Structure 1
Amino acid sequence: MNEIVQTKNLHKIFCKGNICVANKIDLSINEGEIFTILGKSGSGKTTFLRMIAGLETPDDGEIFIDNKLVFSKNTNLEPKQREVAVVFQNYALLPHLTIASNITFGSDASKEILEEVLEKTKLKGQENKFPHELSGGQQQRVALARAIINKPKILLLDEPLSNVDTELRTHLRIELKEMIKAFNITALFITHDKEDAFYLSDRIAIMHEGNILQIGTAKEIYHHPNDLYCANFLGKMTEISKNSYIRPEHIEICENGEFEATIKDIIFYGSFYEIKISSKEKELFVHSFDDHLQIGQKIKYKLNGDILKF
């Protein structure tokens, strides 16, 4: 499989506060995949994207794009020379230009290529409108169309879903994945939201304080986290003994359970209940679909899944 992006020993420290935002990162992104860097604010993920794009200069290391050296101690190609495209949080559409002009801004793409991009991004018929006349989803498609019209080696997406409400976010997430896959383009997606990462990604890297802690599919990193930080970041856990943890969905309330407990709280989340139970001076969280459970009720439970040890 062809590696579109490679970083070797990539290092960056911000002098103000002496903060390390990239700690000797070795990472590869494969052709055609959606690769996500998932991390909290300040973890270094946006700086990493900006270094790939040529918008931030590393202190050390190397960056290769499609086997071409774009950064080293002696090389630092301009963003335009790197054949990358960036979609920012606010889409950065030009309000005084039509949709067609926004898409082709700074490009020498032919009319035929524009027609193809309009078709694939479902913007056909909207090309003579202005950005304010489009919905949030359509504006996202315009930003994506502008980014991919020059057929970049990699599409860089800097939290493009972070400024929209939950309902629209779910819709945009679906559209974004469909469009990226329709163009068979390689994408690096930056986010702090694990749901976005799980839905969109072929592989995910968890980043914390400038370090890549783990790389894998959503299923791999959720069920087999490398450490306690990764495990907690990806979902709730309960400590059942020293250094042993279990996720709420792996505890089952049932009549033939081997442990006894009392229900302390019930929170309804729409698709499931989160039950807080007290058992032998320990509090555990359980996910349940049972409508008949009540606070104060005595129940039995059993452990019904992987126990994580750190």
Structure 2
Amino acid sequence: MVELRNVTKRFGDFTAVDNIDLTIKEGEFLTLLGPSGCGKTTLLRMVSGFEIPTEGSVWLAGADVTHLPPYRRDVNQVFQSYALFPHLTVEGNISFGLRMRKISKAEIADRVKRVTELVSLSGMESRKPHELSGGQRQRVALARAIVCQPKVLLLDEPLSALDAKLRGAMQIELKRLQKKLGITFVFVTHDQEEALTMSDRIAVVNKGRIEQIGDCAEIYHAPRTSFVANFIGEANILEASVVATEGDFTRLRLAPDVEVRIPTDPQLANRHDLLISIRPEKIHLQKTRPVDESSFEAEVCEEVFKGAIDELSLQSPGGLALTAVVANESATQETFHKGEKVWCTLHPNDLVIVHGE
């Protein structure tokens, strides 16, 4: 449905988007995720037509639209600020695009009725934007965008102005709406939890390039770079040296007193030093020495209470520093406190080789 081919965008000497190729499938919910200034909104604006690529081309539904203005592209956009007309009612805002297209009054009335029901705005058609809550204004902006039945809907951080609880509810609602409509959604956010909640696939953007693209599980469990590992959730990025390859497993040294095993991988060929990522929740802790020979002892240096979990800062006698998380005071989980000694086990399949930034 959307294709970016070798797209580059420069503003003077600054390269905002650097030679990106991206294909978005029909009916897909794809999220562009990255920090402020990484180029994700510029990418969205090139799809919408508000920016023209310096190099490369933009395709929609098999047609080259690189130089078409926004009004000639079958896309709609929901902005961070909602951009509602303050003098128009909910019905007036939603129907505005249809009236500009000179759709018949009967069809406008039918479409507005259906879309207000879809986004739970029935009964509010005569209200003005200032009479609505933040969540209701966001629904009006969505309704105005989808009532025109675009092939692609572009959403530029539309939930950022909402409070945390409402934002979480709207994430679920937005995903439900997308599945029901079958429209291709391209969503921009810097919030990794938001991306994981809603997306079919995530494209992680950094310094104008796509570092990795994949489904949520792949991005989270198999990051390719230290940037992706750190930006999606939390990760321990550890320097490791190859000790020996022993059949299906390779032994790595993380510190003078810590050796672990990972599955033998072609990436390890002729390499002596590498970076390993492990998620804090994948570090298995217990107070008695386990049978696993690759387990090692560490001290709990800090304990931070975070409600459902405790976050622990650990350090081995040889200087390996790790962050682990454990369920807080659950019926089956041991509790660990500052100053205590614990035994850590890193399972081979939880260790992921990553490349540096």
Structure 1: gaps spanning 5 or more residues: none
Structure 2: stretches of 5+ with no match in the other structure: 241-274, 330-334
Could you tell me how far 1:223 is from its partner in structure 2?
A: 1.2
Residue among 63, 69, 75 paired with 1:78: 69
What does 1:1-310 align with in structure 2 at a 5 Å threshold? 4-15=1-12, 18-71=13-66, 76-108=67-99, 109=103, 110-242=108-240, 243-254=275-286, 255-257=288-290, 258-279=295-316, 280-291=318-329, 292-304=335-347, 305-310=349-354
The CA distance in 2 between the partners of 1:10 and 1:239, in whole Å, is 32
Amino acid of the structure 1 residue aligned with 2:166: L
User: For residues 42-99 of structure 1, what are the alpha-carbon distances to aligned partners after superposition, in whole Å with 9 as ceiling and x for unaligned?
Assistant: 100001100111101111111111111101xxxx111011011000001111122110
Q: TM-score, normalised by structure 1?
A: 0.93
The superposition leaves residues 234-265 of structure 1 with CA deviations (integer Å, 9 ceiling, x where unpaired) of 13222444222311111011134431111111
Amino acid at match of 2:308: S
Identity between Structure 1 and Structure 2 (%): 43
CA distance in 2, matches of 1:61, 1:297: 58
Matched residue SS, 1:58: coil
2:205/2:211 contact within 8 Å kept? yes
Cα RMSD between the aligned structures?
1.4
- State the TM-score, normalized to the length of structure 2: 0.81
- Contact in 1 for aligned 2:224/2:353 (Cα 8 Å): no
C-alpha separation in 1, matches of 2:276 and 2:218: 18
Q: How many residues align?
A: 301
How far apart, in 2, do the equivalents of 1:290 and 1:162 lie? 30
> Deviating runs (4+, > 6 A) in structure 1?
none
Give the letter aligned to residue 293 of structure 1. Answer: F
1:6 aligned partner, one-letter code = E
| 1:120/1:182 contact within 8 Å kept | no
Taking a change above 3 Å as real, the CA distance of residues 239 and 195 of structure 1, as seen in their structure-2 partners, is closer
The DSSP-based 3-state class of the residue aligned with 2:303 is: strand
- CA deviation digits over 1:166-225, x for unaligned, max 9? 222112212222222222211100011101111110001011111111110011011111
The one-letter code matched in structure 2 to 1:274 is E
| 1:173–1:196 CA contact under 8 A, matched in 2 | yes
